[in-house]
Chains A and B, each alone.
Chain A
Amino acid sequence: MLRRLQDINVLDLVLWVFRAVIIIVVVWGTIATIIENPYPAVTWTETIIAGIAQGSLYALIAIGYTLVYGVLFMINFAHGEFFMSGIMTATIFLAQPMGESGFLDTYPFISILLITVVTVLVSVGIALLTERVAYRPLRKAPRLVPLITAIGASFFWQNFIRGLYGSEVKPFPQMAIMAGKVSIAGFPILKSHIVVIVATILMLIGLYVFVMKTKTGKSIRAVAENKDVAALMGIDVDRAVSTTFALGSAMAGIAGILYAFVFRQVHFYMGFIPGIKAFTAAVLGGIGSIPGAALGGLFLGMFESVGPGLFLEGLGIPAPHQLKDVIAFTMLVLILIFRPQGILGERLAEEKA
């Protein structure tokens, strides 16, 4: 059997069959669902909006992966922990006491500002510390080595935060201004979802302008292009890398706040799965590209939200929503197999995948 496999075409054949099976399952499931029509239209719109909101979070986290991958060619496995640590700290020290004292609802904007400042500071601080201690000394080491330290950093921070604040799920107080729904064009939409979507759009535009128009942004792009040449041009590479980490983790921190607004609870393990999914989003959009990360996040959020109901319900699979993570991971696998350069493919993926 192995002799046969030597022929690379057999391998291609296997991959083609794999692709065909997936397409058939998806198409068949979709048609069956449409015929069956198990949900009313309102459910679908709600699912789609929830998907966009979820996707926005993925997009914000994915930015960090994309930026760091662009500059260092490494998967910053600990990025999900930057997302988690900031909002965990802010919840424990600010949101919960402020919620109890009523400050949160009396001065909602000051509260949000304070929470944002603390979250971003903690996320950025932890990111910079990780970069300095665990990544910088290993920049010239074989590529497996920084990946392993990144895994180590991820587990370290996760359990460090667990040790600090305990392992229970922490409730994030409901803010009066975020509660309830508003009706836009006849569709009732959760206010928190609107906040997430608007905040994400603003952040992404801000980031894009920063990276494309400012001098610091230019230095980051130069370092991403070629570290050695950038250094010769008088760019402080270490500084650019630190800025990249700071930017990415600030975005992740803000994603953490938005997550808390939507789900109203935080947990030491909350960063891990969103982290991996955001990486999927980054790859899906084309790693190294900022619009790609945004687009990838949106796609992934939508697929995950709509997918189980649309593709799997029709196949008669019980409790399809248990399988939403399977959809995300299957997408990751499929993209990496068939289009590693992603939707907005850049040269990076072709070189490195």
Chain B
Amino acid sequence: MTDKKRIDIREVINQGLLAGLVALSLSVIGFISLLGEREMIAGIFTMGHVFLFAAPVGIASVLAEKIKHENTGKVLGFGFLIGVITALPLIVLIILATSFDIRQFLVNVSPELIHLLTFGQNLVVGSIMLVVITGILSLLAAGLRLLPEIWRRPITSGLAWTLLFGTFSEILLSRVRAFFGRGVAKLVFSGKALNPITALLILIIAAAIAYWNVTKRSKSEQKEVEVSPEKQQKSQRIRVVVGIISLLILPLLLGTYLSEVMNNVGIYVLMGLGLNIVVGFAGLLDLGYVAFFAIGAYVMGILTSEGHLGLGFTFWTALPFSVLASTLFGILLGIPVLRMRGDYLAIVTLGFGEIIRILALSDMLKQFIGGAQGVLQIPKPSIFGYDLTKPEALYYIILIGVLIAAFVSWRLRDSRLGRQWMALREDETVAEAMGINLVNTKLLAFATGAAFSGLAGAIFASKLTSIFPHSFNLIVSINVLSLIIVGGIGSLPGVVVGALILVGLPELLREFAEHRLLMYGALLIVMMLAKPEGFWPSETIKRELHAHKEFEAGSSD
């Protein structure tokens, strides 16, 4: 970093306009007003405000980092300018919306949105407030970059924790109520949001902890403690045990609703683990992955249903057939695509997925699998005559499934087969030249992936007790693909992280669910641009994905 870029006023204006466009887009598609319904700190701000100001604040902060070596006034001035420019497109929107009926074109420019943008004031006062507030927030964001780390870190950490608590205030509220009673809940929360005083307390505590951490680290930097391998192994074992115990008692802490959310996450983790083998390990981009999920679900449904389609199996006797059927289909659909690579493979598998869905929907197979009416009256699983109807009980079945799949994936990854898959992923031609049997290796990848997905489908069917062809559209495949990409392609913990972010979060924040596909799309692009290795990357993939950047930068390591 020897050459420091000079940034002139033109660039600042451009960046400000960019931030303005982002804020404007988020407003007109209804994101801001939808999130405006979720109060984070009672009476002060909503989540809509957070997303409204995110773009100018973020851009001001990035810009300030670039020019922080220049004089303070300039940094602060540029920050303020970005905020002001951001507000301009929004003001145009406010003026348009108040003087014309633009809602007949843009359905989401609602009175609530304008109310949020003008802070409940009239046009002139509201616009001025918007300019001043975005300006000041961006200025503060830029100013934060100028502070020494010992101050900056506690402030950012405090703000982050407050926002986090505010975001999940509704869930926290329900848990606090369950464990400490209504009195405490009333004290800490007002309505569904954090009490301003609670928020301030959280801010101070988080900041204090961060401050303490920063000072402690700067002291202990000199004496790096070497940990012996045995000790490391021991601590790792303790961590695994603690992890398993906390997974086991989780439903007791979470309650019914959150257990249900965890179950959905678990089913996606199962699918993610399967697709991770196909895409992550073997590098075969499969966009029709939902087909195996559907087959697992349908086999379970038809074998166990108590309706007219059913064959009277129980969950446990049907489960092997479900998994077997999807595995077989994995091989069957794998054979035709053995010689395809990359994007052709992606599009053909997508075609397979659609074919299976349309067949399930059609009248042709209606007498066997129910057509558009789907399969109904699927019983929930039972153990020793005890029906597992509550989500808390189903959780354990899903947990066992996930643990088995995770264990199998983990052992496969380091096995001979796993290494063959990875060789295949790196370069098919070279892998073949090295004596790897492409046919077997690929088919085993498809089969294993399909088996996990079939297991997920089987559990899904008996969890929902009824299945419809619409549950198995392309979006499921994209969802699973997104979650393994967000978590990190080829990384096992990454699958869990990805599922928690992409499946768990939208269920907790209902407002997100409405726009979840938009966010998936944006997330896929942003991840590929900024962090293609994901949030919890596997080491090999990380190296591979950054290879071209290193090459461009001219360093060879």
* B517 interface neighbour in A143, A153, A155, Cβ under 8 Å: A155
- Chief secondary structure at chain A's binding surface: helix
**Distance of B109 from chain A, by nearest CB (Å):** 10
- Chief secondary structure at chain B's binding surface: helix
Stretch in contact with the other chain, from B43-51, B210-218, B341-349, B498-506: B341-349
Of all chain B residues, the one with the shortest Cβ separation from A146 is B528
In the complex, chain A residues whose CB is within 8 Å of the CB of B351: 276, 280, 329-330, 332-333
In the complex, chain A residues whose CB is within 8 Å of the CB of B518: 155-156, 159-160, 162-163
The yes or no answer to B147 lying at the interface (CB within 8 A) is: no
Q: A145-B532, A163-B31 are in contact. Are A153 and B485 (CB under 8 A)?
A: no
Interface positions of B from 518 to 557, Cβ below 8 Å from A = 518, 520-525, 528-529, 532, 544-545, 548, 552
Q: A6-B437, A155-B518 are in contact. Are A160 and B336 (CB under 8 A)?
A: no
Interface positions of B from 335 to 358, Cβ below 8 Å from A = 335-344, 346-348, 350-352, 354-355, 358
Q: Are B515 and A163 in contact (CB under 8 A)?
A: yes
The yes or no answer to A137 lying at the interface (CB within 8 A) is: yes
The yes or no answer to A75 lying at the interface (CB within 8 A) is: yes
The yes or no answer to A230 lying at the interface (CB within 8 A) is: no
Q: Are B342 and A143 in contact (CB under 8 A)?
A: yes
* B344 interface neighbour in A15, A155, A166, A353, Cβ under 8 Å: A353
The yes or no answer to B122 lying at the interface (CB within 8 A) is: no
The yes or no answer to B23 lying at the interface (CB within 8 A) is: no
In the complex, chain A residues whose CB is within 8 Å of the CB of B347: 75, 276, 279, 283, 332, 336
In the complex, chain B residues whose CB is within 8 Å of the CB of A92: 105
Query: Cα distance A330–B340 when bound, in Å?
Result: 16
In the complex, chain B residues whose CB is within 8 Å of the CB of A159: 515, 517-518, 521
Query: Cα distance A149–B31 when bound, in Å?
Result: 22
In the complex, chain B residues whose CB is within 8 Å of the CB of A41: none
Of all chain B residues, the one with the shortest Cβ separation from A78 is B521
Of all chain A residues, the one with the shortest Cβ separation from B525 is A152
Q: Are B552 and A75 in contact (CB under 8 A)?
A: no
The yes or no answer to B364 lying at the interface (CB within 8 A) is: yes
Q: Are B107 and A166 in contact (CB under 8 A)?
A: yes
The yes or no answer to B481 lying at the interface (CB within 8 A) is: yes
Query: Cα distance A329–B347 when bound, in Å?
Result: 10
The yes or no answer to A200 lying at the interface (CB within 8 A) is: no
* B364 interface neighbour in A151, A323, A329, Cβ under 8 Å: A323
Q: A137-B529, A148-B485 are in contact. Are A6 and B363 (CB under 8 A)?
A: no
The yes or no answer to B285 lying at the interface (CB within 8 A) is: yes
Residues 85-126 of chain B, each 1 if its beta carbon lies under 8 Å from chain A, else 0 = 000000000000000000001111000000000000000000
Of all chain A residues, the one with the shortest Cβ separation from B477 is A151
**Distance of B17 from chain A, by nearest CB (Å):** 14
**Distance of A244 from chain B, by nearest CB (Å):** 17
Query: Cα distance A143–B440 when bound, in Å?
Result: 24
Stretch in contact with the other chain, from A27-35, A181-189, A314-322: A314-322
The yes or no answer to B359 lying at the interface (CB within 8 A) is: yes
Q: Are B544 and A6 in contact (CB under 8 A)?
A: no
**Distance of A301 from chain B, by nearest CB (Å):** 17
Q: A322-B361, A325-B358 are in contact. Are A18 and B105 (CB under 8 A)?
A: no
Q: Are A149 and B335 in contact (CB under 8 A)?
A: no
In the complex, chain B residues whose CB is within 8 Å of the CB of A154: 521
The yes or no answer to B283 lying at the interface (CB within 8 A) is: yes
Of all chain A residues, the one with the shortest Cβ separation from B342 is A143
How many residues does chain A have at the interface if contact means C-beta atoms less than 8 Å apart? 61
Q: Are B105 and A147 in contact (CB under 8 A)?
A: no
**Distance of B363 from chain A, by nearest CB (Å):** 4
Q: Are B358 and A145 in contact (CB under 8 A)?
A: no
Query: Cα distance A265–B548 when bound, in Å?
Result: 45
In the complex, chain A residues whose CB is within 8 Å of the CB of B525: 133-134, 149, 152-153, 156
In the complex, chain B residues whose CB is within 8 Å of the CB of A18: 336
Query: Cα distance A8–B285 when bound, in Å?
Result: 23
Q: A18-B336, A140-B548 are in contact. Are A333 and B443 (CB under 8 A)?
A: no
Q: A133-B525, A151-B478, A163-B30 are in contact. Are A336 and B439 (CB under 8 A)?
A: no
Q: A159-B518, A323-B358 are in contact. Are A138 and B544 (CB under 8 A)?
A: no
Q: Are A149 and B364 in contact (CB under 8 A)?
A: no
Q: Are A164 and B545 in contact (CB under 8 A)?
A: no
The yes or no answer to A352 lying at the interface (CB within 8 A) is: yes
Q: Are A322 and B532 in contact (CB under 8 A)?
A: no
* A8 interface neighbour in B106, B354, B439, Cβ under 8 Å: B439
Q: Are B106 and A164 in contact (CB under 8 A)?
A: yes
Query: Cα distance A330–B352 when bound, in Å?
Result: 8
The yes or no answer to B28 lying at the interface (CB within 8 A) is: yes
Query: Cα distance A153–B482 when bound, in Å?
Result: 12
Query: Cα distance A323–B340 when bound, in Å?
Result: 25
Interface positions of A from 51 to 107, Cβ below 8 Å from B = 74-75, 92-93
* B522 interface neighbour in A6, A144, A156, A326, Cβ under 8 Å: A156
In the complex, chain B residues whose CB is within 8 Å of the CB of A142: 544-545, 548
Residues 413-439 of chain B, each 1 if its beta carbon lies under 8 Å from chain A, else 0 = 000000000000000000000000101
Q: A14-B335, A319-B363 are in contact. Are A333 and B481 (CB under 8 A)?
A: no
**Distance of A132 from chain B, by nearest CB (Å):** 12
Q: Are B106 and A165 in contact (CB under 8 A)?
A: yes
Of all chain A residues, the one with the shortest Cβ separation from B34 is A163
Residues 320-353 of chain A, each 1 if its beta carbon lies under 8 Å from chain B, else 0 = 0011011001101100110010000000000011
Q: Are B548 and A329 in contact (CB under 8 A)?
A: no
The yes or no answer to A11 lying at the interface (CB within 8 A) is: yes
Q: Are B545 and A152 in contact (CB under 8 A)?
A: no
The yes or no answer to A233 lying at the interface (CB within 8 A) is: no
Interface positions of B from 355 to 396, Cβ below 8 Å from A = 355, 358-359, 361-364, 366
Shortest 9 CB-CB contacts between residues of A and residues of B = A163-B29, A152-B524, A156-B521, A155-B521, A159-B518, A329-B351, A166-B107, A152-B525, A319-B363
Question: Which residue numbers of A lie inside 8 Å of B, CB to CB?
Answer: 2, 5-6, 8, 11, 14-15, 18, 74-75, 92-93, 133-134, 137-138, 140-149, 151-160, 162-166, 276, 279-280, 283, 317-319, 322-323, 325-326, 329-330, 332-333, 336-337, 340, 352-353
Give 24 A-B contacts (CB < 8 Å), ordered by A residue: A2-B440, A6-B437, A11-B335, A74-B343, A93-B105, A137-B529, A141-B528, A141-B532, A142-B545, A145-B545, A149-B529, A152-B524, A155-B478, A156-B525, A159-B515, A163-B518, A280-B351, A283-B347, A318-B363, A325-B355, A329-B355, A329-B358, A330-B355, A340-B344
